[in-house]
Structure 1
Amino acid sequence: MQAKETLFADLVQGRAQQFQVPLYQRTYSWTEKHLKQLWSDILEQAQLLESEEEKASTHFLGSVVLAPSPQNEATFPRWLVVDGQQRLTTLSLALAAIRDHVADTAPDEAERINEEYLINKRKSGNDHLRLLPTQADRPQFTAHIRGPLTDQTAGSGVATAYAFFRKKLVEADDPAAPQDVFRIEQAITSRLTLVAVTAERGDNVHRIFESLNNTGLKLSQADLLRNYLFMRLTTRGEHVYETYWLPLQGSLSNDELEQLMWLQLVLDGDDRVRRQDLYAAQQKHFEERRTSEAEIEGYIRELHRRSVHFRRLLHPEEEPDLTVRAALRRLDAWQAAVTYPALMLLLDRRERGELDSSEVARAVAYIESFLVRRMICRVPTNNLNRIFQAAPGQLPLDVPVTEGLHRLLSSENRFWPDDAELRDKIRKAPFYQYGRPQQRKLVLQRLEESYGHPEPVDFTAAQLTVEHVMPQSPGDEWLRALSEETADDETAEELHALFQHTLGNLTLTAVNSELSNHPFERKQDLLRGSHLEMNRRIAATERWGVREILARADELANRAIDLWPAPLRGVGRAERSRDWQLAHQVLAALPHGTWTSYGDVAAFLGSGAQAVGNHLANTPGVAYAYRVLTSEGRVSDGFRWAAPQDAGSDDVRARLAADGVRFTSSGAADPAQRLTADDLAALLAGTDDETDGEDNAQDGTVEAPGEETRAERFFRQLTADDSPETVDAVRALFVHWEELGGWIGHGAGRVTTSAFLMLGEAGGPGRGIWPMTLYPGTGRGGTAEVVFQYLAAREPFTERSLRAELLTRLNALDGVDIPEGKLELRPNIRLSLLEKDRNREVLAQTLTWFRDRWEDRSAS
């Protein structure tokens, strides 16, 4: 191999030659972000030329790796572009834009640019192009180099890049600050340096390709495997590419294609391969079998066939059978990509004639039930990948596929809850705290549909949200009603914590925040007019308390049992100990300086406080069991160590103090350090679902003609609950945030809306960050939620020291004392504290500090 520094002009000028982008290379993918950076570099070099500082440093653009093409000729050199096609394509398009920009005013110069850099004048067909892209990009690129510009693909990267440069050249002609377009041409051709690495004919180009991938120029597993496949197709590459690969690549994104390749490995029996090991596993498979070119073609043909099945999972509307389509839509809404191996198997068996559509629909119903019942019963999801990845290879051979899948999912350690467990969890478990929001909504939607209303709701058009009938923030009237149902040593607040999040207390509604936390009589009037049958049934009851919640839970349980089939009996049931395992997990996760109560743990589990106490007293080895106290923050009179302690280590208060728990003057644990049932749920939930700000935060524009904006809704709700001084302070906070370069995103909630203090771009996950979310109080005063838990997964605040500094700065506000233990959670600050001038100043300084830390990270 030879390497040398060169310029674009030196690389492509001179005699007729061609640079071919191999079939295995990814398509052109530079975005406006890349183009803007390149344009800035080009203008900088053009300005240096204009000021005659030609000795100034040129701009290093990167490397280009070339290898002799199999079609190489002595009189017409052809080179494979192993690496650098994005740079060469972009520079060629920039020069084509310059050529077209001057075509009318300087046609001779336009022709010169064309002949020196873009075409081989005396060659025809594909040989006419000096750069020959992959087949996917070729029509667009050819149209821009040779014309005419017709039938452009919408969203084409090539067309987007060409249009970008045409626009920038028009801007460069601004009379107020004119820039010589030929200086720009000269900067591109003679001021952008490249390192050209040229391989000899005997060099293994594929190994070069792999080496580049291992040294920072990251390519996907699909890119590597595509390269490998077409390097092996020495005689039929063009035919296979046009017949199978190009349609395949057009129907799936690169990530989806990689997923399909992985699924094919799984379906072919390799049930333990990880997606990140796809390329190595498939390469090993081919080389161990000494796979021929015909077999490689067969593999790609099979990928093409199965891509039709895969698209039906990604786009259920493409499934022709109505029943199967509806079932696939529900799994798509559930975001059940983990089930793809089993679903692909079912669609493949149907195509082969081993199943009909009714059997496929029944099998998908088993899969849906498996997921839904586990979610309602709070079974951890961490083994779902393994279960479904192994399914194709573990299906029993002595029964039809549908029955085999039912048996497989019912077997021991699959933890498919039976009817009794499902009924029990619907009565007791805090449904609202488990699973993803769209999953909870889907369960309620399916239950509503089970009523068979003659005029069913269009759930895709209706803007429905999950509503607590007994509110999350109950007023005095609700608590007085609950106190009538309390047992000995039980408070109304504890009873509320036990039942507020259970399925029996939840419904769907499109009614706005007027529902909120109003008394039940007011909610009855609103629910009575609902089009949903479940809401009309709630409205028909005289009161709403624990008895009514449990009665509705039993009714919903009956419907759930009919909707979602049960596992087979006698296959081998799982133990019921996992509920306590969940308790052990959450207690082990208690941060330093926190405690919780028996009632909080009970509400988190859907159990009883006494049962929690008995279990902890009789189960040795439970981490931090001594940090479970009474609701008043005291050691229970019945507390005992489950196992003997060393002398001097059995003092509970001493152990609590050593763990950072503070005590008040009355001897009780500091209530600010207590973790509620909601806090415990958040501890185990992690940050997977913390995308509300990115996915839902919008800038407060009108949702529909005549509707109030999200911003108007937020301030209407805030004004109804907080003083004018607090509302003014929040408005001033928003103004300051926007002056810092941030923007205010508003959540989609109608019952309770929200406002996010956003930094970064709107419009997609991973683009923004926010330090806090503001909520109106719905009767108890507005709050600002500090999202430490979310920040722990976002740079630069993955560093705990930065989150700790944010906490310290917030604690400088008068009236704020967030314990360090809540750095793992999302504690609240009362918005009314912002009425103080000093607090507003401190918060403004804190937010400026936050912005600066984020920008430091972005700049680096």
Structure 2
Amino acid sequence: MQANPRSLDTLFNSQLRYVVPMFQRLYVWKESPQWSTLWEDVSEKAQLLMRGVKSNPHYLGALIIEGVKPNSPREVKRFLIIDGQQRLTTLQLLFCAYRDIARANEWKTLDRTTTRYLENADADVMEKPDEELFKLWPTTLNRDAFRSVVSAGSPEEVSKRHPLVYLPRKRKPEPRSNLAEGYLYFSKMISAWIDASAAEFSKTREEAAFALLQSLQQDFCVVEISLSEGDDSQEIFYSLNSQGQPLTQSDLLRSLIFMRAEKEQIDRDEIFAEYWSKFETDFWSMDVRRGGRTYSRLDLGLRFFLMAKTGQMVDARRVNEEYRRWVSAHPPRYATVKDELADFTRHGEAYQRYESAIPSELPCTDLRRVLMDFDVSTALPLVMFLELEAGLDAEQSKDCLDAVESFIARRVLAGEETKEYNKLFVDVIGSLRGLSGDAVLPALRKKLLEGGGTTRHWPTDGEVVEKAISRPVFKMIKTPALRLILERLETALRNKKTENLDIPAGLQIEHVLPQKWDAHWPLKGVSIPANVALYPHLAQGELAPLADAVRTRNSTLQTLGNLTLLNRYLNPAASNGSFESKLVEYRNSVLRLNRHFDAATAWDEEAIAKRGKALGEAICKIWPRPTVPEKSES
């Protein structure tokens, strides 16, 4: 490793190019604090120069680069920017703005000088002239904007190519490229400085512009650190970014992969376009909250990928560290970086298929909806393992996923805790690693049946039925999950003779015995006042002996046996009316769930319990549970 001071003239005045690797982030510097701070320093130094005052060079920081062996004798010498791409890109924007001002004023010497800082000569003999012409070659997603700005030739053309867009009812324009904004900022500042300085020092505008360029050439330096062959650029990059964690876990993963791609001399643009570009989208960059912390979806996807691969818990804050340790094992996990990216992309597509699902657009039997409505995204690593890692055919995969779904659904109905799901499902993956095909299902069932307590127990048929009868699920289970259970019951009640009608979206949960029951639903032949129905402890006199019965009714009406589904037109119509009026409305429903009431003549706590028992038994058939652990093949 060699460190040397480099003036900006030395830095850009040779036939070379600085390439921003794929692992670097986009250009993110803005007017405040970066551009304005740089410009204050530049204008101050130039003012001192015009006054004839000597000053020490101003250091702009370190630039860490790594030379790359050329692929052809015609290729312009190439350096990878390990650290410093933000300031190097900013300097290019500044010189570009200066060049265009010189060109517009026909200051040919200044134009030629700054053009040499932006472009390499002899494009006709270059290997890839469209790329090698530029002294700086940004990362893929910045290239079009950078090339557009450098080639525009004027602020007017840059504004034309990158116009401000105002959306309806918005006062502020939509954000445009930082590269265009930076160029326009420096163009404005340089023009204003030249005019002001020429007037202040009684110079021509060209003389003032020359002094500004001279100051940039002489008074500003960087410390160029050039890595030697034995230096590990990857470790240096991590060390530079270890304090304050300015990079996300997925940023660090990208650096790991594309640094190795450089060393393997793989076409970076090709693998970026084929694989990594899929992750440079709004979906993957969106922040989501998990366990009280906020992560990008790409960080979460990487974590789930690694847990699916290893069967071990991965700390969300140290995903990249764990990934590096895992992928660097011997023998290597992947033959090439391309194989690694292909596998990660395959898992990423599976994760996205589940994470981007819109429950209202999916049938109740779709596992994606089940996981979202039951709010168990922690099961995704296990689902990804079963779909992609366990070597299962379609039927075997379905059987295994049905077992996982049964485990989750029964626990939702029973009100079991979910706080250890992340550990549980990863433990299950660990127990299945090394198995494949027919051996996976028995081992999966055995592992799920072994769990105990409130965090890992797989409820039995008896427990499910008991909860269906007695648990006030309307108060205890979130609406999407409860609606899903009722829709699955509706599906199960249909038979071959039932019309194959989809269950419409937006069905509402209806209480048969309404929550406000006082007006039309006597209790033991006694009409109960509204205040007593709501607050049984207020019962006095002849109503006092009914206080417990009121409490029982208020609890019973929230159980599964008293719930059904109606569309948004029927639900208000049924509302808090009498049972007789409700039956009239229920006859308009095509749902099998509501055919149960066709033969009913009364509806009370006993009828609710009886229907709850029947629905509980139906749930046991929808989501069956093995009764005894099965032996897995070893």
**TM tier, shorter chain?**
0.5 to 0.7
Query: What residue number does 2:82 align with?
Result: 82
| Secondary structure, aligned partner of 1:289 | coil
Query: What residue number does 1:355 align with?
Result: 393
| Secondary structure, aligned partner of 1:238 | coil
Map Cα deviations across residues 29-57 of structure 1 (whole Å, 9 max, x no partner).
Answer: 64xxx6464588479959988x98999xx
For the 8 Å contact 1:363–1:405, the answer to whether it is kept is yes
Aligned pair partner of 2:177 in 143, 160, 176 = 160
For the 8 Å contact 1:511–1:526, the answer to whether it is kept is no
d(CA) in 2 for partners of 1:324, 1:554: 22
d(CA) in 1 for partners of 2:365, 2:97: 47
Tell me how far 1:374 sits from its aligned partner: 0.7
Give the partner amino acid of 1:428. S
Query: What residue number does 2:625 align with?
Result: 567
For the 8 Å contact 1:267–1:392, the answer to whether it is kept is yes
d(CA) in 1 for partners of 2:317, 2:245: 16
Query: What residue number does 2:381 align with?
Result: 341
| Secondary structure, aligned partner of 2:81 | strand
d(CA) in 1 for partners of 2:574, 2:132: 73
| Secondary structure, aligned partner of 2:13 | coil
Q: CA separation of 1:210/1:404 partners in 2, compared to 1, >3 Å: closer, same or farther?
A: same
Residue 456 (structure 1) aligned with residue 508 (structure 2): no
Percent of aligned positions with the same letter in both sequences? Answer: 21
Query: What residue number does 2:430 align with?
Result: 393
Give the partner amino acid of 2:14. R
Map Cα deviations across residues 172-203 of structure 1 (whole Å, 9 max, x no partner).
Answer: 79xxxx9849789989x969999756244254
Give the partner amino acid of 1:457. I
**Structure 2 regions of 5+ residues with no counterpart?**
52-57, 124-128, 166-173, 197-208, 286-295, 519-527
Query: What residue number does 1:440 align with?
Result: 482
Query: What residue number does 1:28 align with?
Result: 26
d(CA) in 2 for partners of 1:4, 1:473: 82
Tell me how far 1:389 sits from its aligned partner: 1.2
Query: What residue number does 2:137 align with?
Result: 132
For the 8 Å contact 1:530–1:536, the answer to whether it is kept is no
Query: What residue number does 1:15 align with?
Result: 14
| Secondary structure, aligned partner of 2:82 | strand
d(CA) in 2 for partners of 1:457, 1:151: 50
Query: What residue number does 2:264 align with?
Result: 236
For the 8 Å contact 1:524–1:538, the answer to whether it is kept is no
Give the partner amino acid of 1:361. K
Q: CA separation of 1:276/1:493 partners in 2, compared to 1, >3 Å: closer, same or farther?
A: same
TM-score by length of 2: 0.66
d(CA) in 2 for partners of 1:248, 1:508: 45
Give the partner amino acid of 1:458. P
Q: CA separation of 1:371/1:29 partners in 2, compared to 1, >3 Å: closer, same or farther?
A: farther
Tell me how far 1:370 sits from its aligned partner: 1.3
Map Cα deviations across residues 389-440 of structure 1 (whole Å, 9 max, x no partner).
Answer: 1223313679443344333323343411122111111222232444555333
d(CA) in 1 for partners of 2:601, 2:509: 22
Give the partner amino acid of 2:441. T
d(CA) in 1 for partners of 2:117, 2:601: 83
d(CA) in 1 for partners of 2:183, 2:556: 63
d(CA) in 2 for partners of 1:36, 1:532: 63
Give the partner amino acid of 2:489. L
d(CA) in 1 for partners of 2:343, 2:59: 40
For the 8 Å contact 2:27–2:142, the answer to whether it is kept is no
Aligned pair partner of 1:223 in 238, 251, 256 = 251
Q: CA separation of 1:128/1:208 partners in 2, compared to 1, >3 Å: closer, same or farther?
A: same
Residue 247 (structure 1) aligned with residue 293 (structure 2): no
Query: What residue number does 1:367 align with?
Result: 404
Give the partner amino acid of 1:560. I
Query: What residue number does 2:235 align with?
Result: 207
After superposition, residues 655-670 of structure 1 pair within 5 angstroms as: none
Give the partner amino acid of 2:386. L
Tell me how far 1:369 sits from its aligned partner: 1.6
Give the partner amino acid of 1:278. V
For the 8 Å contact 1:478–1:519, the answer to whether it is kept is no
Give the partner amino acid of 2:26. Y
Q: CA separation of 1:457/1:5 partners in 2, compared to 1, >3 Å: closer, same or farther?
A: farther
Give the structure with higher Rg (CA): 2
Tell me how far 1:504 sits from its aligned partner: 3.4
After superposition, residues 298-309 of structure 1 pair within 5 angstroms as: 298-309=339-350
For the 8 Å contact 1:471–1:517, the answer to whether it is kept is no
d(CA) in 2 for partners of 1:95, 1:527: 76
d(CA) in 1 for partners of 2:227, 2:98: 35
Query: What residue number does 2:555 align with?
Result: 498
Query: What residue number does 1:830 align with?
Result: none
| Secondary structure, aligned partner of 2:177 | helix
Q: How many residues align?
A: 542
Give the partner amino acid of 1:503. L
Q: Indicate the RMSD between aligned Cα atoms, in angstroms.
A: 5.5
**Structure 1 regions of 5+ residues with no counterpart?**
573-860
Q: CA separation of 1:437/1:180 partners in 2, compared to 1, >3 Å: closer, same or farther?
A: farther
Tell me how far 1:380 sits from its aligned partner: 0.8
Tell me how far 1:216 sits from its aligned partner: 1.4
Q: CA separation of 1:99/1:369 partners in 2, compared to 1, >3 Å: closer, same or farther?
A: farther
Give the partner amino acid of 1:127. E
TM-score by length of 1: 0.51
For the 8 Å contact 2:82–2:237, the answer to whether it is kept is yes
Q: CA separation of 1:70/1:120 partners in 2, compared to 1, >3 Å: closer, same or farther?
A: same
Give the partner amino acid of 1:248. Y
Give the partner amino acid of 2:177. T
Q: CA separation of 1:288/1:456 partners in 2, compared to 1, >3 Å: closer, same or farther?
A: closer
| Secondary structure, aligned partner of 1:69 | strand
Q: CA separation of 1:80/1:166 partners in 2, compared to 1, >3 Å: closer, same or farther?
A: closer
Query: What residue number does 2:465 align with?
Result: 423
For the 8 Å contact 1:18–1:131, the answer to whether it is kept is yes
Give the partner amino acid of 1:443. I
d(CA) in 1 for partners of 2:256, 2:38: 39
For the 8 Å contact 1:527–1:535, the answer to whether it is kept is no
For the 8 Å contact 1:504–1:552, the answer to whether it is kept is yes
Give the partner amino acid of 1:15. S
| Secondary structure, aligned partner of 2:366 | helix
Tell me how far 1:381 sits from its aligned partner: 0.9
Query: What residue number does 2:315 align with?
Result: 274
For the 8 Å contact 1:64–1:194, the answer to whether it is kept is no
d(CA) in 2 for partners of 1:264, 1:161: 33
| Secondary structure, aligned partner of 2:266 | helix
d(CA) in 2 for partners of 1:345, 1:293: 18
After superposition, residues 755-770 of structure 1 pair within 5 angstroms as: none
Query: What residue number does 2:65 align with?
Result: 67
Query: What residue number does 1:283 align with?
Result: 324
Tell me how far 1:359 sits from its aligned partner: 3.0
d(CA) in 2 for partners of 1:265, 1:71: 34
Query: What residue number does 1:805 align with?
Result: none
d(CA) in 2 for partners of 1:70, 1:293: 24
After superposition, residues 315-330 of structure 1 pair within 5 angstroms as: 326-330=366-370
After superposition, residues 297-696 of structure 1 pair within 5 angstroms as: 298-314=339-355, 326-348=366-388, 354-356=392-394, 358-395=395-432, 399-413=438-452, 414-434=456-476, 436-452=478-494, 454=499, 455-459=501-505, 462=506, 464-466=507-509, 490-491=547-548, 494-495=551-552, 497-499=554-556, 501-508=558-565, 511=568, 515=572, 519-521=576-578, 524=582, 528=586, 531=589, 533=591, 536=594, 545-564=604-623, 566-571=624-629
Give the partner amino acid of 2:428. A
| Secondary structure, aligned partner of 2:237 | helix
Q: CA separation of 1:280/1:39 partners in 2, compared to 1, >3 Å: closer, same or farther?
A: closer
| Secondary structure, aligned partner of 1:68 | strand
Query: What residue number does 2:525 align with?
Result: none
d(CA) in 2 for partners of 1:270, 1:91: 47
Aligned pair partner of 1:198 in 205, 222, 225 = 225
Map Cα deviations across residues 49-108 of structure 1 (whole Å, 9 max, x no partner).
Answer: 8x98999xxxx99855412322489x97644322343454466568768988x7996687
Give the partner amino acid of 2:178. A
d(CA) in 2 for partners of 1:537, 1:103: 84
